[in-house]
Amino acid sequence: MSRRAQPIVFEWKALDVLQEGGEIIQTWAMVPSARYTNVAKRQFGEGGEHVLEESQERSKASHSQYFAALNDYFHNVPEKMAARWPTAEHFRKWLLVEAGWFDEKEFEMLSEKHAKGLATFIRTEDVYARIHVNGKKVIVRRAKSQSMKAMGKEDFEASKRAVLDLAEQLVGVPKGTVMKNAGRAA
């Protein structure tokens, strides 16, 4: 049974390394923080190469405030538009795509019938996807994930602001009103 890799905190440090001939040279290395030493030994074999990717921590308070505000916006969507988004998650993903935070794929099919068939299949696999059929071409847009793993702090804050700005326009409330109230509720 393979274990899931655990995130490890490293420090960028200058180290003195003793060479074979007794010469000491200074080099830089990512050294696991003391409390992660045993985990690092378990996860990484000596001499192996591993990809290191910086992870930007983001505020759980900001995350909670965002989802509380979105929920408030969802429940205050004008009645004439409410049927468009059956759930708050549909609303959030629609806003992400509308604000430009999406991944897009295009498919050129053999016929319009095949294009419609593909679109139907995609809809059964992803109820949130924005699917456009234009003749034999199918264009699929999927909202980017805002999970902490998928989106760093900078992108999360930018996507959050874009989504909330658009939600404010749809709901028609003064700028920042719902965010202030959501901050109290979060």
Q: Of 15, 35, 53, at which residue does a domain stop?
A: 53
Residue 34 belongs to what domain range? 1-53
Please write the tens of the pLDDT for every residue from 93-138. 999 999 999 999 999 999 999 999 999 999 999 999 999 999 999 9
Q: Please, is 74 exposed, middle or buried when counting C-beta atoms within 10 Å of its C-beta (0-12, 13-18, 19+)? A: buried
Asked whether residue 24 carries a pLDDT value surpassing 60, the answer given is yes
**Of 42, 61, 151, which Cα lies nearest the Cα of 103?**
151
Q: Are residues 47 and 73 in the same domain?
A: no
- In the chain, % of residues over pLDDT 70: 88
Confidence check: pLDDT of 33 > 80:
yes
Question: How many CB atoms within 10 Å of residue 143?
Answer: 23
Q: 108 and 39, same structural domain?
A: no
| 86 and 29 within one domain | no
Q: What is the CA radius of gyration of the chain?
A: 24
pLDDT at 50 over 90: no
- Looking at the structure of the chain, the number of domains it has is 2
Where among 53, 77, 93 does a domain terminate? 53
Clarify whether residues 42 and 71 are in a common domain.
no
